[in-house]
């Protein structure tokens, strides 16, 4: 399967902006740069950032065991998702397919780009993709299928065999949003890029890596897809401070592993403690750093928690999420306080 025909003609024909710095990077150290109208006085950030994030990508390449040619970085994974829609979906013609209840940004980004969203709910009991219905709903203009696994807000991962089936049978790009993959016991799909030319995997530094503030999203795909995304991304979309801080973060893998271990333990403790809250009707199994629960009256409990100074996410208006709340796993102290408060209501 070639994916060339899925790319918008406008994008295929596009000649990208080229910065002078792109052409001269990696040459002699003592070049004098008078090409970009920067302020010449060195303060560490007076120069434009590296548009290709070379140093950061080489660290990432080793860490994820993926060649640099298969990596694109963005200003958060939200930017990556937006670029993907703009690369494949012709406004007012093409559509994307999403599987509610899921992450809200897919539809918002599609709307911004005048791209229609087709929706096929997850199965009611297990929150798994309904393959037959998805393939039936998709049409010739369905360019991207978004799979969020582990899924936000339900917290579960999709079955490997189900995703394999969709990768094989969906006639467009399959984006697997792995924002929560580091909390899951399932393997990342990044290791299977070679097998599926239509597979795109996105990850982020905003959740497990503890760096939501720097805005860094990662995209892993075939070199063909990555090359085109590089053509359409804003040249300086990842700033200098972010590139530096991300490298520091990646090098401290011990902290990363300690924090994840801690959050997984806390997730277990929190799930168990929720069983003793009398208005909690269901605690869904989570592969992420949050837990979805069903309560007697989500709007009421949500407001009560706010009155006690605790902000959670009310998901009751989402399909299949009647009276459901989503709780992020916090520190031991925060979780203990949450449980005590819930029990006191």
Ligand X SMILES: *Cc1c(COP(=O)(O)O)cnc(C)c1O
Residues engaged in binding ligand X (CB under 6 A): 76-78, 103, 148, 152, 177, 179, 204, 206, 212, 217
Q: State the minimum distance, in angstroms, from the CB of residue 233 to ligand X.
A: 14
Min. distance of Cβ 251 from ligand X in angstroms?
20
For ligand X, give the closer residue by CB, 148 or 342: 148
For the chain, state the CA radius of gyration: 22
Of 259, 269, 258, which is closest to residue 335 (Cα–Cα)? 269
Residue 79 Cβ vs ligand X, minimum distance, rounded to whole Å: 7
Instruction: Report the residue number, 144 or 148, with the smaller CB distance to ligand X.
Output: 148
HSE, CB side, 13 Å, CA atoms: give it for residue 190. 24
Looking up tokens 């709780």 gives 327
Q: Which is nearer to ligand X, 7 or 219 (CB)?
A: 219
CA contacts within 13 A on the Cβ side of 299: 3
Q: How far is CA 26 from the centre of its chain?
A: 31
Token couple for 47: 């120069």
Strands 217-220 and 71-74: antiparallel
- Rounded distance between C-alpha atoms, residue 97 and residue 107, angstroms: 9
Q: How far is the CB of 234 from ligand X (least distance, A)?
A: 15
Residue among 76 and 249 whose Cβ is closer to ligand X: 76
Least distance CB 212 / ligand X (angstroms) = 6
Distance in Å, CB of 295 to ligand X, minimum: 21
Rounded distance, CA 87 to CA 231, Å?
10
Question: Could you give phi then psi for residue 53, rounded to 5 degrees?
Answer: 45, 50
Q: Which CB sits closer to ligand X, 216 or 342?
A: 216
**DSSP per-residue string spanning 28-95:** -TT----SS----S-SSSSSPPPTT-HHHHHHHHHHHT--GGGEEEESHHHHHHHHHHHHH--TTT-E
Our CB check for ligand X shows the closer of 143 and 215 to be 215
User: Can you read off the two tokens belonging to residue 263?
Assistant: 């959050």
244 three-class SS: helix
Quote the least distance from Cβ 197 to ligand X, whole Å.
23
Nearest 5°: phi and psi at 261?
A: -55, -45
Q: How far is the CB of 266 from ligand X (least distance, A)?
A: 18
Residue nearest ligand X by beta-carbon distance: 76
How far apart are the C-alpha atoms of 148 and 164, rounded to whole Å? 14
198 versus 206: smaller Cβ distance to ligand X: 206
Q: Which is nearer to ligand X, 36 or 212 (CB)?
A: 212
């Amino acid at each position: 399967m070639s994916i060339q025909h899925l790319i918008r003609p406008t994008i295929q024909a596009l000649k990208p902006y080229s910065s002078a710095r792109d052409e001269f990077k990696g040459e002699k150290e003592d070049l004098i740069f008078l090409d970009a109208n920067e302020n010449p006085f060195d303060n560490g950030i007076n120069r434009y950032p590296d548009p290709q994030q070379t140093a950061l990508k080489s660290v990432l390449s080793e860490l994820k065991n993926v060649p640099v040619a298969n990596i694109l970085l963005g200003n958060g994974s939200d930017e990556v998702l937006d670029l993907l829609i703009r690369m494949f979906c012709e406004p007012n013609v093409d559509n994307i397919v999403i599987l509610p209840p899921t992450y809200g940004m897919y539809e918002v980004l599609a709307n911004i780009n005048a791209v229609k969203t087709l929706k096929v709910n997850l199965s009611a009991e297990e929150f798994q993709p309904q393959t037959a219905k998805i393939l039936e709903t998709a049409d010739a203009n369905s360019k991207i299928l978004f799979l969020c696994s582990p899924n936000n807000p339900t917290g579960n991962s999709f079955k490997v065999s189900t995703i394999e089936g969709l990768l094989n049978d969906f006639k467009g790009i399959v984006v697997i949003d792995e924002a929560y993959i580091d909390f899951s016991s399932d393997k990342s799909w990044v290791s299977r890029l070679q097998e599926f030319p239509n597979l795109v995997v996105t990850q982020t530094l905003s959740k497990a890596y503890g760096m939501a503030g720097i805005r860094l999203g990662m995209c892993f795909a075939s070199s063909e897809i990555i090359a085109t995304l590089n053509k359409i991304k804003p040249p300086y979309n990842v700033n200098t401070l972010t590139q530096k801080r991300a490298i520091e973060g990646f090098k401290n893998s011990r902290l990363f592993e300690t924090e994840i271990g801690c959050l997984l333990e806390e997730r277990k403790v929190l799930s168990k403690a929720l069983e003793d809250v009398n208005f909690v009707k269901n605690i869904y199994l989570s592969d992420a750093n949050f837990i979805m629960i069903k309560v007697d009256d989500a709007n009421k409990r949500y407001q009560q928690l706010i009155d006690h100074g605790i902000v959670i996410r009310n998901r009751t208006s989402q399909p299949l999420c009647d009276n459901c709340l989503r709780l992020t796993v916090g520190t031991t102290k925060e979780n203990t306080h949450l449980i005590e408060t819930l029990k006191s209501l």
